Every structure is written in structure tokens, then in C-alpha cells.
Structure 1
């Protein structure tokens, strides 16, 4: 009888403990929701404030551009608004500098007393750092590229129009993608020559978006196979289209070479060639 009574007491205590925990959890969730609601309200207010400042700044710039008379206090407001926006932009750059320095994407260095910033883009492939590119951005008015050593084959004008003024972070990320993809494609070609000496790189362009390779089938057949790789997506290092040609039509229709074609689409080109040699597709 005592055991039954004790069991009932324990069950009751356990029920009370669960109820207390559930109440505490619910209270914590409510507090968290209140914190998030306050944060959202603050961000919305700041957004509205920035939009109002930007609108006022645009109106004043239009008047100045048209030569219309402007009250002295409005000129002071114009200067204050512009300084506020520049300060906000500098704070954004400092945040980006800290974040991207940590992940080795790119680094920032302020110059000309904060009127410009120099960005260094680091590119790497398979854990090895390769080319480095630099760009100086003028911040005195709208953000403008003053000088750079970005390869001319990179569509910099297109990337600039898409994001430079509207989303500076996206601009840097997109440009970094293009540069790293170019470096990866170039490095793959170097690795072909280094690791797969029997494959001849017949043709390539500056952007490495087109690559023609001549492979030799195993010695018993000694057939030449032309592999053409096209990279339509310049932010990636894998081809978007692969064509394989040979005078030996039977070889092209074989299951193995159909697998090889898919392999080019799924693996870096030098890795695909090494796998093909291991499988006996090429010498």
C-alpha cells in the first residue's frame, strides 16, 4: 500500500515538474518573440528614416543640377544627409571587412582619409591560393570603380550595373565568384598538362569558357577522340555542355564513353581525365 502511495506522489511531482517546465518554455518563447518584434520595429523605423533621407537628398541634388534656388538651411540639411549616408556606408564597409577577412574572401583597406577603399580579391582552388586581384573604389559621391586589375575577360561592366549601387555586398560576392571560377578553370588546364601528359589541350580561350582536348584511346585501338567543353555559366568551374567526336562511331556509342561524357559534366576536367585513364578509356 505504501509503495502505491509513493508511486502516486512521484507521478504527481513529475506532472507538476513537466507543467512548470512547459510554462517556463512558453514564457521564454514569448520573451523571445517580444525581442524579435522590437528588433523588427527598430529596423523598419531605420529603413523609413534612410528612405526619407535618400529621397530628400535626391530632391536637393535635382534642384542643384537644375540650378534652382535653395534655402540656406536646406543646403545644410543636404550636407548633413550626405554625411550621414557616407558614415552609414563606411560602417557597412567595416562590417564587410571584418567578415570577409575571416573567411579569406577579400580584404579592405581604407585610403584617402576614408574617401576610397581598396579591395583585394583572393582566389584559390583545391585549397591552394593562386591569383590576387585588386580594385579601388571611390566613395565621395556614388560608389565608382577608379582603377583595378580585373582581367578584361571578366564581365565587370555587367556585374557593376547589376549590383554596385544597389547591393555592394552582392557586387563583391558576385565578382569574387567570377574570379574564383576563372582561376579554377585555368588551374584545371594546368593540371591536365601536369598530370595527364597524354592529353593534348588543342584550344582554349582567355576566359577558359571553351576547351578542346584531344585524347588517345588505348593503344590497341589508338583512336583519337576530340572532347569539347563549354562553360556557359562563368561563375562555375564545371562545363555546361560537353561534345565528344571521333571517326570511330562505335566507340562514341559505347556505354563507357557515354559515362565519360557525363563524367566531364560532374567532375573537374583533370579529375575526369585521370578517372578515364584509370578505367582504360584513354592511354
Structure 2
């Protein structure tokens, strides 16, 4: 049987001579009996990574390269023979496995560290890593579908609630001590066709049953950083107010959702640097100081 290899090489920081470069030492080598089509590398703290073909997956230790577990997908989940897509959700320690049949996607969810099967369903279609958000405070996923937002438990797949009143993907959010979630929506560029009739929306939801307490609109576009995909805006609750830092400051009443005040200003670093000639995507972050609040006063560096 043909073997497939994974290598780990120690990298050293420092000056390297152009004329003579020392070979980088091999830390470990791991042989696998399946093709490597999908790979994912965990952090040092997490301690493991994975490599998979369309029929089999191996999760291995980052320090030694030794397999923690290896299974064929048909052994993991009864409805899976092969997979067309694999999405890891590292923070929740699960992997979404997809057999994307014509018009009927089958989703199976597996615990990443142990390889234990958790749950499976063919109820949710057009699921992609862009429209699934893990909410660690509730150990649940918010999955944005074409007609509704569903909230499901990560470990069991139990649907806690769904609502058709929130359109788009969950962006930045804040959870209050009394069990409510304030969040804004957005549409990733790759999913524009999925959410027709989209409008900017900020809403307060009862996280226990999905009831919309209030909703309002916001001004601006919920953008992400190019590589890390972190949001380029902030949302937080301050006392009885909801503060949205996007296109300036937008402030809402936490109880009613009424717009209290807003201040439009630009603190993006446009003009500070230029896009490199061969760069497809480009961003400059942290180059302009964030606004500073002192009591009722707000100090900003306006770059417009």
C-alpha cells in the first residue's frame, strides 16, 4: 500500500547566510495509509492536528506525530461512505463532515480529540464554514440558513430554537447576565446569493427561546481582517446601553433598542499604506488609535 507522509521541521529564527544554509532538522515523520486531501493544524496548547482523505481521517499528536486515532468515515457515522467537505471548529472540539448529495447534504459531527461520533442530520442544507458561528458561552452553534437562523447544541445537535426574523450570519455579539444576546448580522461575500433581501440588522434575542425582544438597523459594513477573519468593529454592552463601534459610534438603549445617539467618523488607516503590487488582498490594522471615552466625552482621531 502506498504510504503518505507528514513531516515536522524545527524552524530557527536568526540570520541565515545566503551562501550556506544549514539543513533544518527533522523532528518527526508520520506515515499514513490514506491520501491526504484535508489537513488542519491545531495550536500548541491544543496539541493535535488532522489529515484526511475523502474516506478516512487520522488525528495525530503535534509533538510526536503519533496518531491519536484513525477511522474510516463509514465507521464514524452510518450515513457516511465518503466526504466531500470537512470543517473543523477547534474551539468546540468538533469536526463537521459533509456528504453533499444532490439536493440533500448529510452532516455528521465528530469529537475531534477522541473520534467519537456525536450526531448526524440531513435537515440543514447549504451549510458552510461562513454561516456557522460557535457561541462558547452556550456551547451551541448558530447556523444561518436561507429562511431561518437555528440554534443547536454543539454536542447533541438538539435544536434549541429557530427564528425567521434574523436574516444573515451572526457577527459580533454580546451576552448579558440575564440571558439575552445582542448581535449584528452580516453577509459574507461568498454567500450573497443565499440571503436575498438582506438589510443591516442589530437585534436583542432571548437566548433561551429565540424570541426577538427588539431589532433596529445599523450603518456600515461588518468587515473582517484578511487573514485571521477577526471582525474590524466592536460591539459591547455598557450598563443600559449597547455600543457599536462601526463607522464611528452607534449607541442603542439595551432595554428598548432605540437609537440614542451616533457619531460618524473614520478611524481606518486608509492612505497610510499602499497595497503591494502582487497582493490579492491587503489590510493594515492597529495603525490608528481607538476612540477614548472619558466620562460622557469621546475623543477620536478622525482619518476622513
Fold-level similarity (TM above 0.5) = no
Relative to the length of structure 1, the TM-score reads 0.27
- Higher RCO, 1 or 2 (CA under 8 Å, sep at least 6)? 1
Q: Which of the pair is proportionally richer in helix?
A: 1
Q: Which of the pair is proportionally richer in strand?
A: 2
Bigger CA radius of gyration: 1
